[in-house]
């Protein structure tokens, strides 16, 4: 039981430190100084840098979803409804979650590695010695960029996913374009669109904040940086799925 007690104590301590970091971020968002140039740089690094992987993920997800659902709907003679199924699945759930997981794998690991390297080489201590707050300089620009860019990337993933599904429906399932797009529109309600747009804000925030927390807490030299990178991806992916469930449940209570 001793190891279990130690593990629980360590886990609670890490959660406490994470929320302390969030408190510093919240305070830094409303008090000067602000580093607008760093925010713009992170928009490019997180948003534009993740565009390729999001485009590929969204396209192939829509294509395989259309192919699989078309085969299933054939059993009920409802092949023309494939657009309705794909649109509801992509916009409400698959688009936000898959985009967040891809961003977590690319951005979360990169942030943890970058900040971890700065931590173990005492660059963070040098910033403090020069009178610069590392949270304001390094964490807040990344949190802002991640929170705002993941929703935009999700919209892109949803769009290319529907286009990929349309290509499969037209070429493989022999569904005409007009019935496909009509079913896409019929399958979406405004509540579904709001759910697909609201969730990515929460997912982007937790991805980047966890990456920053893990990076700033790196210890143990270059081996520690490797562990921090792995921990950031694993923890970020698990928390993305947990937050997705919690936010979905909350939005169902509010929107439906």
Using one digit for the tens of pLDDT, what is the confidence trace for 139-186? 999 999 999 999 999 999 999 999 999 999 888 888 888 888 988 888
CA angle 81, 85, 89 (to 5 degrees): 170
Query: Which residues have CB under 8 Å from 160's CB, separation 6+?
Result: 55, 58, 59, 62
CA angle 161, 162, 163 (to 5 degrees): 90
Tell me, what's the pLDDT at 190? Answer: 87
Number of H helices, E strands in the chain: 12, 0
From first CA to last CA, the distance across the chain in angstroms is 45
**CB-based contact 70:94 (threshold 8 Å):** no
CA dist 251 and 92 (Å) reads 11
Task: Compute CA distances 36 → 43, 112, 137, 161, whole Å.
Answer: 11, 21, 10, 33
* 190-216 helix and 221-255 helix, angle to the nearest 10 degrees: 160
Q: Mark 145-169 as b/e (b = at least 16 C-beta within 10 Å).
A: bbbbbbbbbbbbbbbbbbebbbebb
The pTM score is: 0.91
Q: How confident is the model at residue 118 (pLDDT cuts 50, 70, 90)?
A: very high
Q: Which two tokens stand for residue 29?
A: 């968002």
Q: How confident is the model at residue 122 (pLDDT cuts 50, 70, 90)?
A: confident
Instruction: Tell me the pLDDT tens digit for each residue of 74-103.
Output: 777 777 788 888 898 899 999 999 999 999
Number of neighbours of residue 46 by Cβ within 10 angstroms: 27
Tell me, what's the pLDDT at 1? Answer: 63
Of residues 77 and 214, the one with the higher pLDDT is 214
**CB-based contact 195:249 (threshold 8 Å):** no
């Amino acid at each position: 039981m001793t190891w279990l007690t130690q593990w629980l104590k360590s886990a609670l301590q890490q959660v406490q430190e994470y929320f302390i970091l969030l408190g510093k971020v919240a305070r830094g968002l409303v008090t000067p100084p602000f580093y607008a140039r760093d925010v713009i740089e992170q928009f490019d690094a997180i948003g534009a840098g993740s565009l390729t992987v999001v485009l590929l993920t969204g396209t192939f997800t829509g294509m395989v979803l259309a192919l699989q659902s078309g085969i299933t709907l054939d059993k009920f003679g409802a092949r023309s409804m494939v657009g309705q199924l794909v649109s509801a699945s992509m916009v409400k759930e698959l688009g936000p979650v898959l985009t967040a997981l891809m961003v977590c794998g690319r951005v979360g690991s990169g942030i943890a590695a970058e900040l971890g390297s700065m931590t173990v080489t005492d660059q963070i201590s040098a910033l403090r010695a020069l009178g610069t707050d590392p949270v304001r300089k390094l964490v807040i620009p990344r949190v802002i960029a991640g929170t705002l860019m993941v929703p935009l990337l999700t919209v892109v993933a949803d769009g290319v996913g529907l286009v990929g599904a349309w290509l499969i429906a037209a070429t493989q399932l022999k569904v005409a374009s007009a019935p496909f797009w009509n079913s896409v529109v019929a399958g979406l309600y405004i509540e579904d669109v709001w759910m697909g747009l609201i969730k990515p804000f929460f997912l982007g925030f937790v991805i980047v904040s966890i990456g920053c927390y893990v990076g700033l807490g790196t210890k143990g030299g270059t081996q520690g940086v490797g562990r921090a990178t792995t921990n950031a991806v694993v923890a970020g992916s698990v928390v993305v799925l947990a937050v997705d469930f919690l936010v979905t449940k909350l939005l169902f209570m509010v929107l439906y």
